[in-house]
Chains A and B, each alone.
Chain A
Amino acid sequence: MSEQNIFLLDGEEIAFAPGQTIMQAAQSAHKYIPHLCWHPEFKPHGSCKLCTVKINGRFGSSCTVEAAAGQNVENRTAELDDKRRTLLQLLFVEGNHFCPSCEKSGDCLLQATAYEMGMMTPHFDHFYPDRPVDASHPDVMLDFNRCILCSLCVQASELADKKNVFVMGGRGMRGRKIILNSESGKLGDTDFSVDDRAASICPVGVILKKRVGFVVPYGERTYDKAPVSAVEAAK
């Protein structure tokens, strides 16, 4: 690696390999940039905007912007975390995120990121949308009340599992949704398997393996033990 391949992240020098995004370089250096729709195994699409940073004073999604020598990147500033908190609040009111009854609580990236940003209230008026629960599959259930449309299941099913079980469909704030690739529209009628990559990719509590929901009790889960910033930086 040449000496020039360095940028500043919150004032700290970060080395990068040519072609790496700011997010990838930060992760390699064990630095946490908040994110929801980004996953190291898949191509970034910059849609959740949680990973927005300021690059030489201009906003950019750190998961899609390539690292370049001499960039001055602001990440965990009060200004950016305020904006991230607002994005999270919008996500919370758009779906039905009722944490007390959710099997994913404590392991949920949305919840953990909201804790990290100190979100005390969803602030906006709730939509309380009417979204379906699909328990048709013998080993996996889907609760779309919690979907944040990160599309990681779509990517995992298409690219890792070669199955295309999930597709993004519909339009608009209330119409956009994940559609199941079967005539009935039910997961049970697809070739989805509990061993698929897509079965364990969901960052929130939509795709849930049956019969294991409370094997690990509340209070002893990933983000109960350490905040998401520490968990991510340790990766």
Chain B
Amino acid sequence: MSKLRVATTSLAGCFGCHMSLLDIDERLLDLLELVEFDRSPITDIKHCGPCDLGIIEGGVCNAENVHVLREFRKNCKILVATGACAVNGGLPAQRNHLELHDILTAVYQTEGGLAHGAQIPNDPELPLPLNQVHPIHEVVKVDYFLPGCPPSGDAIWKFLTDLIAGRTPSLGHGLLHYD
């Protein structure tokens, strides 16, 4: 059997879910018998080619996140929302009841300790933030959800091995967590 091709990325996330993926420890070697990585922080490949599985950490908070997410959806047969932020917006979405302009003004202009004349960054290379942070299923179709902040290494291992074996992933008590 040829290896499954897997891509991973972190959008509006903290890379905690990727750390949790590494937390499957020596089982990474078993995993590498079954899969090879395409675009991922692990390979540093910048764009996603055709893949069997896309693992998305983080929600959608800016324009770049939307482009990356669409690139993944276009190229991946199966897309998995991994972790609280991808599933429901998570920590970044805690800004959603505030006005974006008020947040930017407070952070870059009116908070204490800023340099005199500090301005809201406006470089064309910076992706524009969205008014609200969205879970990824509000932007593209998502096939599976793996909640947790982060999902534990054991949960990720169970989920991936179920999926690779062709079973519907099932976590059960102790592995299914929202915290």
Contacts and interface: CB of A to CB of B under 8 A. Distances in A.
B96 interface: yes
Contacts, number: 72
A118 B176 contact: yes
B145 A120 contact: yes
6 contacts: A97-B88, A99-B84, A100-B178, A105-B179, A111-B178, A118-B170
Contacts of A105: 178-179
Given A121-B137, A126-B89, A114 B173 contact: no
A128 interface: yes
B179 A120 contact: no
Which 10 residue pairs are nearest across A and B when measured between Cβ atoms? A100-B149, A99-B178, A128-B96, A130-B97, A121-B145, A120-B145, A105-B179, A99-B179, A227-B173, A100-B179
B91 A121 contact: no
B75 interface: no
B179 A122 contact: no
Contacts of A126: 88-89, 93, 96, 135, 138
Given A120-B145, A128-B96, 7 more contacts: A96-B94, A97-B88, A98-B93, A102-B179, A106-B179, A126-B88, A126-B96
A100 B90 contact: yes
Interface of A: 92, 96-102, 105-106, 111, 114-115, 118, 120-123, 125-126, 128-131, 218, 224, 226-227
Interface of B: 81, 84, 87-91, 93-94, 96-97, 132, 135, 137-138, 142, 144-147, 149, 170, 173-174, 176-179
B138 A125 contact: yes
Contact of A92 (B88, B90, B149): B88
A97 B88 CA distance: 9
B66 to A, nearest CB: 16
A124 B128 CA distance: 25
A121 B87 contact: yes
A111 B132 CA distance: 24
Contacts of A106: 179
Nearest to B173: A227
A218 B179 contact: yes
A129 B97 contact: yes
Given A100-B149, A128-B97, A122 B176 contact: no
A123 to B, nearest CB: 8
Contacts of A128: 89, 93, 96-97, 132
A123 B96 CA distance: 18
A120 B147 contact: yes
Nearest to B137: A121
A163 B35 CA distance: 62
Contacts of A111: 178-179
B138 A122 contact: no
Contacts of B135: 121-122, 126
Given A121-B81, A121-B147, A115 B176 contact: yes
A125 B91 CA distance: 17
